[in-house]
Each structure stands twice: as structure tokens, then as C-alpha cells.
Structure 1
């Protein structure tokens, strides 16, 4: 281990490579702990953490505002460590999809996920693996991303009128049911959007959340969406984010032998269905890509004068995480541009948290621009902007991946139309190539030639 940081990544054996990836994830969690201690005392963090654990967490509940900044970042750090422990216990490699899951969980742990409401969902997925007699590692992504429905657990536990312990018990039962049905449903729904929305679990979670809310409403139980957000932290948090991404960028350059070699090929990936960039292009280029996405999204937020609060930082972390699993600056930018254009044309408040969440999480549609081009990406982003504003009522904020839910519908609408356009375009091109090969000489000239 003494030579760990003194050799390029490709010169190391797989064990050392794995340790490096874990060290990067742990370092990320430690930076969050340091940031928490910068904002609040240990006593404030403790009190805030308790409030996070025993409060409803409907979309959008900013833990900065609900509790305090320090408690929110400690919650995120603990969720990262818990996720790494689960991954390690399954003895699978820390791949691009799993690295994306870690950053996504960290982000959503600032506004909706916590240890209390995530654990029963993971246990439900584990129970499904046991019942089907398949390894839990096969459903690891479902378990980690499935915590999107954590607010459902918190809602049943703390906001449904039950006594404290009865609510906790029923909340965990609801979470276990969610985890039990999530894996088979998520496999099925991939065909709905054909892999053009990267947040497949988000779409599945939206369907499950919609079913639960329909059941609640049938019995007269109303669950309203929440909009609790904070403001005023841009200066310290922008310094933290740019510093974090600079470190990722520097690490990426180091592992890629101080060059961008291979990044042009990296940008040719369309990202459809989620592409494991670590596997295909190595850790160095992946870290560079993640950092560039971080610079892009943070700069976007600050340019439109948005607030770096819990949900918005959660969106930035998610985009950065998926920089290891399907997103890069080339396929993300057209989506962001499409959302911005339609937002401007509809007089949306571009600096609002709601709009910024739509822009950041709308990049779930990055494979559309990656596969079909810039214009298609802009159209997808614009359509997503219109659809997402009307979709949260269906699950009443129970699904934290609201844009993943909306993105599934957007892809299901636009991709078949794009397939038709590109199919006919290809047909016309093929005909133009084949046409000169057909002998168009008059019959009498053919007869002369034969003679």
C-alpha cells in the first residue's frame, strides 16, 4: 500500500484499484463531515439529526431548513458509509453504477433520505432476493436507488395519525413492501422508456408511490407535497463544491497520466441504458468527467442566481455521480439548454429551486441527445420541463426521484417519434446509395450491349 498514490492506476492490481475507489468515496463522506462541523456545533448537529430521523420527508423537504446544515451533511455522510458497507458485504466491485448510486444517495440525503426511512426498503429487496433464491448482489442497485421512496416510510410513521411506535412499525412494513416489489417492477419498466431515461428506478418508484397514494386517497387520507427550502449559503457551499470538483479533476488527471487522452472517445458514448464509464474508459477519465459535470452544473446554478440549498446540491451530486454511469458534458448540455429555453419562454423563475431541480435532474434524458443528437436533446429537455410540473401530484412527493418518473414518460413520448424520423432518414440515405447501382439503361440498349 505504500506505493498506492505513486503509480498510475493502470499499473496497479485490481485489489489496489478497488481500494482507491473506496478511498475516494470515503474521502467524499469525510469532506461532508468537515463541512458539517464548520456550520454547526456537535450539540446542534445531534438535535438536528434527531429531527431529520423523526420527521416526514415529502418532496421537497430541505434538511438545511428542517434541521440545520450540519445535521444534513452528517446524514449524507452516514448514508454514504452505510451504502459502502452494503456494497462491501456483497463482495462486488465498486463500479460506475454503484459510484453513481453513492453520489445520488448523498445528494438525496440532504432532502428526503435518512437512515430510518431507507433501511426497511433495503431489507425488503433483501427479502425478495431470499424468496427468489438469488444473490442479493443481483439487486444491489434496486436496493440503493429504491430508497427514493423513503418519504413513504416517514409519512406512514410520523404523519398518519398513528401512535409513535405503531407508526414506526407500519412505516417499516410499508418500506419492506416497497423493497419487495421494486426489483421485478424495475426490470419490467425498462422497456417503457427503452433505456433513454437513466433513472429507471425513479420511474418505477413513481409508479409504486402513485399506487400507494391512490390507496391513501381512497380512504380519505390526503398527502400534500411540500416546498421547504433554505437560502443564504451560496458563498461557503460554492467554495466547497468547486474545491471538491477540483480535487476530483486533479485525481482524474493523475490517474490518466496527466492528460485528456481518450476523452474524445469517452464523449462518443451515448449513455443509453447507463454506461459503466469506469469499466469502459478507466477511473481517471471518469473522475475528469464527473468533475467537469460538477463545474458545469454548479456554474449554471450560480449564473441564474439560484440558491445552493439541500435539494439543489443534491441535484448537483446526482449529476456528478452519473458522470460515472451514462452522463457526460456532451449529452447533458442539450438537455439543460432545452429546459432553459422552455423555462424562459414560459416565464418560469429560472433562479427558483423547482426550476433548477428540473434542469439538473432532467439530465436523466442525456441518452436521448447522446443517441439522436443535439436537437433531439433540446426537444427532450423542453418536453420534460413541461411534463414534470404536472407529475408530482400523482405520488404526492412520496417519490424523491420525481424527475426520473417524469423522464420515463418524456422518453416514452419522444423516442418513438425520433425513431420514426431517423428510420426514414436512414431509408432515404440507403436508397440514394443503392439507386446508382441499379442499371437504368433502356431495354433496347441492353440488347445492343448483349450483341
Structure 2
């Protein structure tokens, strides 16, 4: 009876945050078990002071254990900020926190995210608005955290120059993110879930252009680890099975209610926790994680920091727009692209394009699976081309590419459907 009551009323904010904290704590424990305290602390030191341009796999910088401890600790700290801010916890907050957990394996760390967050806080003070109103923007906006690390640890300037320049640049970018994100959302109209990836790509491109005009050219990195598929695959399987089990514990009818969740198109904003409840949402999160992991293993990809970060982005947004029915067609489109183009489905950049490209799931959900395949096919090319303009300083490179794809493809789809007498979808 008590479980059924929880299923009907939902979970309080504290309980939802506790689930995220539980996942983060498991990552911390896993990190210490895998590497041991001495290696973990030594590795954390390396992670905090490394340049974080794409792609910097923290498992290759500080070891597997240090990468997971960094991810878990950072997520626990951010969850504490959410708690203190008093913000309501829904699907969007869950997605944001799991993106922190995932990207803290390859780009976000306990040092470099705070100037961006501080810039958003300054914007809130300037506008006399509560920080809770923009807290998701602040932590999604940590996509630009590498800017701080890149400038601070540059060998071109002494620390007394690089520190104020890194801090000032990051604060300024954080300040402009809230209004820029609100404006740029209109371009794709919610048909990509990573609006901040699109926004950070635009802002990062402007910043890089300015710095390049003064001779400062960011140097993209490529640190990529392999050989840990069995260990990491087993760990992820336990996490995802736990989420499915939790969903069933909260709501015995979670599997039955999944049909209601799968019927949603996912167009942003689409909070699954508010619409169908926490039970089916957690089941969807676990199932989506299994799908993402299975794809990587089937195409011969590597499980490492960037790839697990991409899988966790699917899991997080499985509370806010993604489900297997609407994101699998996009993955299929990227896979077909690998057959028709001069690269392999198992190549690092293509694996990431398939996983992060699921941000285009609303196109499939609203217009049909065939358009999802088209979106994935186009995205597989776009994602490989846009990184140069922001110099690898936007961690959400695929989000930037997907924002461009969605902004172009959505009006084309509407025009084609209108020509053949198909009724335009609602909210267009």
C-alpha cells in the first residue's frame, strides 16, 4: 500500500536527489576499489591540472579509479548545491546531474566548473532573479569548463596573467549563457534536447574567434583509453539493473506504465517524472542505459570516460525526453552513415556521435522513425565538422552539431509534410 501511494504521488525532491547521490557514491566506492586510495589521490591531482579540451579521457590522465572518484565527488557537491538552492527536482534536474556525473569522466572536474557557475550566479544577481531559476543552465553550461583550464594551464602566459584571464573569460561566458540559451532555443524549437550544447557551441565559437585573433589558438587533445570493456561493462550493468529494480520497487506497475512513457514524443520540455511518475522513469533510465552500452559493444567500441559519459547522458535524459522508441532510430541513422561514409561504426568519434546524437530523439518521436534515421545520418557528418570552430573547448560538441541539424531539418520536415497534406504537429 505504501509503495502504491508513492507511485501515485511521486517522490519528494529529497528522495530524487538521494537517488542521484546514491549513484555518485557508488562511483566513488568503485573508484577506490579499482585503484586504491594512493593511486586515486595521485590521479586526482593530475585530473585537476590537465588541459580539458576534447577529447581528454580522465581514465587516461589519472586512472580509472581517479576518474570515477572525480565524477562521484563532483556530482555529490553539485547535488548539495541543488539542495541548498531549494530548487524543485524533476526530470531536467536529474538529466543535468547525470551529465555532471558523465562529463566528470572527461572534461569537468572539481576545479574548472565553478567560474562558469559563478558567471550564471552573477547574471541572476544582475537580473535580481533567484539562482534556483537558472541552476540547470549554470550546470549544463559547464560544457565550457575547458576554457578555464585551457587558459589557466597554458604555457604561453605566466600565472599572474593566465589566472585573471581564465577567471574573467569564464565568468563572462557564464553571464551570457542564460539569455543566449533562451534565445537559441527558438531556432530548433525543442527538437534537440541539448539546447545548452547548441548555446555553448555558439558562445565558444565567438570566444575562440576572439582569442585566435590575438594569437591564442587552443590545441585540441586526444586521450582515449581502451581495454576495460569487461570491468566497466559489468559495473554499468549493475548500475542500470539497479535503476530498473528501483523503478519497480517504487511502482509495481512501472512496466505497464512504460507504454505511456513510450508514447511521448520527447520534445523539450518533456519531464517524464512529472508526466508518468518516477517508477517508469527509472525503468526507462536503466533500460536506455543498457541499449546505449549494448550498441557500443556491438560495434566494437571502447568503454572509457567519454563513452560512459555519453551513455550517462542517455540515462540522464531518459528522465527528460529520451526513450528507446525515439532514440534508437537516430542511432540507426548514425550506423547507416558509417556504412556509407569513409569511417567505421566503432571509431571513437562515430561511437560518440551515435550516443550523443540521441539528443535528436524528439525528431523521431514527433515526425516518425524514418525522420529519426535521416537526422542521425546527417548528424554523423555534422558532428565531425563543427569541432574546429570552437577549438574543442565546448564539451557538448555533438550538442552543438545537433542544434544545427535540428534547426535546419525541422522546418524542412514541416514543409514536406505540408506539401503532402500531412497535418502539422501540435506546438509548431
Instruction: Calculate the TM-score normalised by the size of structure 1.
Output: 0.91
Q: Which residue number corresponds to residue 84 of structure 2?
A: 89
Moved more, 143-152 or 225-234: 225-234
Q: Which residue number corresponds to residue 369 of structure 1?
A: 364
User: How many angstroms apart in 1 are the aligned matches of 2:29 and 2:372?
Assistant: 38
Give the Å deviation of 1:271: 1.0
Residue of 341, 344, 369 corresponding to 1:346? 341
Max radius of gyration: which structure? Answer: 1
**Per the alignment, do residues 235 and 423 of structure 1 end up closer, same or farther by CA in structure 2, a change over 3 Å counting?**
same
> Does 1:75 pair with 2:60?
no
Residue of 129, 141, 147 corresponding to 2:124? 129
| Contact 2:271 2:319 (C-alpha < 8 Å) held by counterparts | yes
Q: Which residue number corresponds to residue 154 of structure 2?
A: 159
Q: Deviations over 1:78-129 (max 9, x none)?
A: 1111211111122122110000011111110000001211011111100000
> Does 1:10 pair with 2:2?
no
Give the Å deviation of 1:21: 1.1
| Contact 2:7 2:251 (C-alpha < 8 Å) held by counterparts | no
Q: Which residue number corresponds to residue 110 of structure 1?
A: 105
User: How many angstroms apart in 2 are the aligned matches of 1:428 and 1:89?
Assistant: 46
**Structure-to-structure mapping, 1:282-297, within 5 angstroms:** 282-297=277-292
Residue of 312, 323, 326 corresponding to 2:318? 323
**Structure-to-structure mapping, 1:176-191, within 5 angstroms:** 176-191=171-186
> Does 1:234 pair with 2:229?
yes
SS in 2 for 1:162: coil
Give the Å deviation of 1:167: 2.4
User: How many angstroms apart in 2 are the aligned matches of 1:391 and 1:178?
Assistant: 19
User: How many angstroms apart in 2 are the aligned matches of 1:412 and 1:385?
Assistant: 16
Q: Which residue number corresponds to residue 93 of structure 2?
A: 98
Long gaps (5+) in structure 1: 430-451
**Per the alignment, do residues 43 and 380 of structure 1 end up closer, same or farther by CA in structure 2, a change over 3 Å counting?**
same
| Contact 2:115 2:167 (C-alpha < 8 Å) held by counterparts | yes
Residue of 205, 219, 228 corresponding to 1:210? 205
**Per the alignment, do residues 11 and 39 of structure 1 end up closer, same or farther by CA in structure 2, a change over 3 Å counting?**
closer
SS in 2 for 1:25: helix
Q: Deviations over 1:254-279 (max 9, x none)?
A: 21215412211211111112310000
User: How many angstroms apart in 2 are the aligned matches of 1:32 and 1:172?
Assistant: 30
User: How many angstroms apart in 2 are the aligned matches of 1:427 and 1:13?
Assistant: 38
User: How many angstroms apart in 1 are the aligned matches of 2:412 and 2:91?
Assistant: 30
Q: Which residue number corresponds to residue 327 of structure 2?
A: 332
Give the Å deviation of 1:318: 0.5
Give the Å deviation of 1:160: 5.0
User: How many angstroms apart in 1 are the aligned matches of 2:133 and 2:248?
Assistant: 33
User: How many angstroms apart in 2 are the aligned matches of 1:382 and 1:13?
Assistant: 41
User: How many angstroms apart in 2 are the aligned matches of 1:408 and 1:428?
Assistant: 24
Residue of 146, 169, 175 corresponding to 1:174? 169
User: How many angstroms apart in 1 are the aligned matches of 2:4 and 2:154?
Assistant: 52
> Does 1:391 pair with 2:386?
yes
Give the Å deviation of 1:9: 5.5
Residue of 243, 246, 251 corresponding to 1:251? 246
User: How many angstroms apart in 1 are the aligned matches of 2:340 and 2:385?
Assistant: 17
User: How many angstroms apart in 2 are the aligned matches of 1:98 and 1:428?
Assistant: 34
Q: Which residue number corresponds to residue 140 of structure 1?
A: 135
User: How many angstroms apart in 1 are the aligned matches of 2:5 and 2:289?
Assistant: 22
User: How many angstroms apart in 2 are the aligned matches of 1:427 and 1:55?
Assistant: 52
Give the Å deviation of 1:210: 0.5
| Contact 2:57 2:305 (C-alpha < 8 Å) held by counterparts | yes
Q: Paired residues, what number?
A: 424
Q: Deviations over 1:156-206 (max 9, x none)?
A: 100252223542332122111111010000000001111111100111100
Residue of 198, 215, 223 corresponding to 1:220? 215
Q: Which residue number corresponds to residue 424 of structure 1?
A: 419
| Contact 1:256 1:285 (C-alpha < 8 Å) held by counterparts | yes
**Per the alignment, do residues 53 and 256 of structure 1 end up closer, same or farther by CA in structure 2, a change over 3 Å counting?**
same
